[in-house]
Structure 1
């Protein structure tokens, strides 16, 4: 009896020790949970705006759907419905709805057009959660520059990633207490944590100029049947980036619809051999150190010269004696190499480094490349000659524009400026980024001489197609063989065609623009492929006064996305050709039927293809099937010719104006 009492006492004591000591904190937390409630206070990610205050990226209201799987009655129906909307398999969604799970998300950031269909199902155990999603009002405009966010609103590429710390929000918490009767009590000692909204960032780009640049890049790719194109416009006086983009484009509202290569900002990540555009920097280096070269002539060997290494150097045309200015305007490889040889390796290398080659420009954008410029001690016997004409060196588009900006800016190199300022939600300025002078790279006299030479390139040389009536334009063409990955030589019949220029040619230049067209199939020279695109871009930029303003973000939200304006006419094309044209615009195809040609298509990237934005539905058929559906007067000539080859000869008279 006594022993039993002792055992009972020991058991009770042990339980008291456990409750009051070991489990004390657990019971305290349980009590708090029963009487304390907390509510998450939503916060907004900061906006991204252009230099005029146009909203390029902002948060908008959205809805997510979650589930307590144990409470779901119709698992099969729910799995089928959410699989269709989310793009996952029915089996994967079914696994999410396993009853032993306590909480799962079924669909995040639901599209407006899908909300009603979900609500109409009234699935038991599936609930709505108000949330936000990132919205890009202008669709694919500046997509590679802006980047995108994930479902948790975290920056993943572009400006969204580079400035994520500034843009990021922090949700708050509101706490309250419940008494035994369920009444809410407020304890001031339990401080509410306020929500912290992200700051808004104002960029230097102008959305109108950005739109012009992208439209003309699409035109250049289409006309030259090129693989891709990229371009950048700056103000050389300040280094401000006014527009920056590449084609194919992608829509950050639906980044998963585009391959990774289309999302990458290749103007900072992908270096290329600049070809003859670099002759401008070579000439600048020579004239600044050997100014008398400007008044001398060199013999250009009638277009063919053998180097000491046994390599043969060629010009596109045979030239005899040329002045330094004529070497530039005719883009003579032989003449430029002879001029470059007035420098030694160390001098040339120092000049290239001073212009910013071989080092990052400091844009702050993710994965910026420094390009490739070997140190002078590692140069081979032929390096000085090949680098002088833009080979054996690789540069990014931003580096090349920065270097040319120094010529346009009287010899002073400016840092590229993308971020103008940062403001809080009340509009108070938190940070301002002012134009930054990096260094003087050549004398003002040398810069003036180069400006005159580059003006001659446009007036009398290879850049004549960049000329603009009434405006003095300075610029340089470039045509480079496309280097194989890993430095293994050059691709056969593949070129990188470029033109970089500024205006006005002398005095205070206001605009500088680079156009690069990659692997064109119609034409290959920078003067015939890229120079016309430069002219069209600059003519439109100069005529902006009085142009309609972009719509507000609110009206853009209510209207169709801008991608709808980029739908190519694919009728009459082969499936392969149609896919190429669509890909250049960041679009995808869904082919229906059988045949060798596209005979019909949807006119907007719509939900007809399973809700995936950026998809064009195309119907295949025979050549004779397309003719009753479309007038050949409206079909591009190249497509009509293809149709003729496939048996549509008798209707080609409709092409006559």
Structure 2
């Protein structure tokens, strides 16, 4: 039979499927060998194709650069041009020249002069010449050779400041010495030709030219002016590029301030008070000279005074204008206010008699006159002339605390004088409702109330001016950049007491300054003088208690036609303590100089006779 095709199953007797004889499996037919692989053939690319691909890539890259270039030079050229200019442009400050401070006659007390700021680029100074350069710079700039050499050794820096406030002549000499990379920048320097003349009043400026004390600080906005600006292009070496764009805003110079101070009288006042402070071992002293009619301060002297050319070396307490800032109890110089209150009220007349012992009981305290004396009858005028505390208390009791407080306030106590004097204080005037029993008595003769020297000088200006008070004035006016002088506004005139009361008090003060009064040492030959001594216990804030004395004298001359007020104060003197002994001689020296300087003629009239007691 023929074998079926396809996948018909074979029978068990199929020789290909059935077991071999003996039980062994049948063998597989051998696998035919694989045909050999063909050899690898390296086929080289088409050169034209490679070139085309490279050109496409290069064209793409160049198109990117071209687009960026078009953007930078075409579309954004203005932006990049501005950035480039901005990197070259720098803004320089053109300092404004600070205005000067002068006395009433135009003599400079503070002024500004040109100077130079010297700097160098150490990286451009060859090591071989550093020692020579350092010697030249040190000698011209007044610096040590070691300091200059140390700055030149910093050759990794491109800027080292050598000195400020260099004289232009010195700067020009150094620039001509051909020192590598040396530069000089224009600036201004503040100088004080008068040294310590009115030092604490004038004040001083800091390193940035801003006022730090006195009128330099108080009038800083007037004196400073306004700085200018300049934008210029410079190269990598810091030098200005010629013929390039620049912008300039000119500075506005500061105005000049003219004071009411008279340089010559100021000098005399400072000399007199400084000598007396040394002579009596006082802690400090003050002198004020004031014009009666205008209340302009002609002199304001302190001892010790501040040397403005060396203010950094002075103790800080010397920065204070004691004439306007130091507060003290005035003592008997305050009795004129009690007298004014008594006379204005009509309760007391100059001829009113008092039976005066040398002590008086005031609540829990017994108050005394400065010198013991038997009970005597005094007129009120004599009581003021002899500076009797007891008689003054008796007069104050007729007035009452409320009215006395009102008069003190009317004379300016408890308020700043308001005349523009820097550092002025208000003093201390307690409300009469808070006065203790004894304080109602002690305030009558100047203890328990505090004032400044400027306030007390203002009191006597009011009396000398016929009872009309004018705020003290220190600035006469200003001169702008255009050269025009603008006078300061005059102070408001306020009537405090009547002209009659002022004349009666003047007569009392003239008695006090006579040989019969306590101020005989203030008398000036040929001139009638009115004034009052003051001796007060001194409160020391450092100790928190009373310690030492305040000696003072204040008056005016000529008494019949007052022109000038002079006040002198000595704080904590060690050799004596009475104002008539210590302060009156200062008054005499300063007033004598001032009336001669002002060419005030001698008095033509004679003083009225002094009625020493009720029986005379």
What TM-score bracket applies, with the shorter chain setting the length? Answer: 0.7 to 0.9
Contact 1:83 1:93 in 2 (8 A): no
Contact 1:240 1:435 in 2 (8 A): no
Deviations 1:467-508 (A, max 9, x none): 0111000000011121020793311xx2111100101113x3
Look up the match of 1:275: 331
Contact 2:351 2:379 in 1 (8 A): yes
In the aligned structure 1, how far is the partner of 2:300 from the partner of 2:307?
15
Deviations 1:536-575 (A, max 9, x none): 111122222699xxxxxxxxxxxxxxxxxxxxxxxxxxxx
The 3-state SS of whatever aligns with 1:522 is coil
Q: How does 1:78-157 map to 2 (within 5 A)?
A: 103=159, 105-110=161-166, 127-157=183-213
Deviations 1:1-22 (A, max 9, x none): 9999999999999999999999
The 3-state SS of whatever aligns with 2:165 is coil
Q: Which of the numbers 478, 502, 508 marks the counterpart of 1:447?
A: 502
Q: How does 1:451-470 map to 2 (within 5 A)?
A: 451-459=506-514, 460-470=516-526
In the aligned structure 2, how far is the partner of 1:283 from the partner of 1:297?
14
In the aligned structure 2, how far is the partner of 1:250 from the partner of 1:535?
24
In the aligned structure 1, how far is the partner of 2:381 from the partner of 2:477?
42
In the aligned structure 2, how far is the partner of 1:194 from the partner of 1:186?
16
Deviations 1:289-337 (A, max 9, x none): 1353433222322x22232123443432325222111111111111111
What is the CA distance between 1:243 and its match in structure 2? 0.5
Contact 1:421 1:432 in 2 (8 A): yes
Look up the match of 1:233: 289
Look up the match of 2:268: 212
Look up the match of 2:243: 184
Q: Which of the numbers 451, 455, 471 marks the counterpart of 1:399?
A: 455
Look up the match of 1:628: none
- 1:194 and 2:250 aligned: yes
What is the CA distance between 1:284 and its match in structure 2? 1.1
Contact 2:554 2:567 in 1 (8 A): yes
Which segment drifts farther, 317-326 or 113-122? 113-122
Look up the match of 2:593: 540
Contact 1:80 1:90 in 2 (8 A): no
Q: Which of the numbers 328, 345, 353 marks the counterpart of 1:297?
A: 353
Q: Which of the pair has more CA radius of gyration?
A: 2
Normalising by structure 1, report the TM-score: 0.72
- 1:257 and 2:310 aligned: no
Look up the match of 2:473: 417
Contact 1:478 1:499 in 2 (8 A): yes
Q: How does 1:475-494 map to 2 (within 5 A)?
A: 475-485=531-541, 488-491=544-547, 494=548
Deviations 1:255-292 (A, max 9, x none): 11211112221111111111111111111122111353
In the aligned structure 2, how far is the partner of 1:146 from the partner of 1:364?
12
In the aligned structure 1, how far is the partner of 2:454 from the partner of 2:549?
20
Look up the match of 1:516: 569
Number of residue pairs the alignment of both structures matches: 537
Look up the match of 1:31: 85
Structure 1 unaligned blocks of 5 or more: 548-657
What is the CA distance between 1:62 and its match in structure 2? 2.3
Look up the match of 1:336: 392
In the aligned structure 2, how far is the partner of 1:299 from the partner of 1:12?
116
Look up the match of 1:244: 300
Contact 2:347 2:398 in 1 (8 A): no
Q: Which of the numbers 363, 366, 377 marks the counterpart of 2:433?
A: 377
Deviations 1:519-548 (A, max 9, x none): 22222111011101111111122222699x
Contact 2:111 2:190 in 1 (8 A): yes
Q: How does 1:11-30 map to 2 (within 5 A)?
A: 28-30=82-84
- 1:48 and 2:101 aligned: yes
- 1:433 and 2:492 aligned: no
Structure 2 unaligned blocks of 5 or more: 1-52, 601-616
CA RMSD of aligned residues (A): 4.0
Larger fraction in helix: 1
The 3-state SS of whatever aligns with 1:254 is helix
Deviations 1:37-72 (A, max 9, x none): 766545321111211122222112223333446556
Contact 2:290 2:565 in 1 (8 A): yes
Q: Which of the numbers 362, 366, 370 marks the counterpart of 1:315?
A: 370
Look up the match of 1:557: none
What is the CA distance between 1:338 and its match in structure 2? 1.4
- 1:64 and 2:117 aligned: yes
Contact 1:502 1:513 in 2 (8 A): yes
The 3-state SS of whatever aligns with 2:306 is coil
Contact 1:47 1:55 in 2 (8 A): yes
The 3-state SS of whatever aligns with 2:328 is coil
Q: Which of the numbers 579, 583, 599 marks the counterpart of 1:526?
A: 579
Q: 1:467 to 1:32 in 2, by over 3 A?
A: same
Which segment drifts farther, 475-484 or 284-293? 284-293
What is the CA distance between 1:251 and its match in structure 2? 1.6
- 1:222 and 2:281 aligned: no
Contact 1:246 1:265 in 2 (8 A): yes
What is the CA distance between 1:121 and its match in structure 2? 10
In the aligned structure 2, how far is the partner of 1:121 from the partner of 1:183?
24
The 3-state SS of whatever aligns with 2:115 is strand
Contact 2:131 2:149 in 1 (8 A): no
In the aligned structure 1, how far is the partner of 2:469 from the partner of 2:540?
31
What is the CA distance between 1:339 and its match in structure 2? 1.0
Look up the match of 1:500: 554
In the aligned structure 1, how far is the partner of 2:367 from the partner of 2:169?
64
Which segment drifts farther, 40-49 or 63-72? 63-72
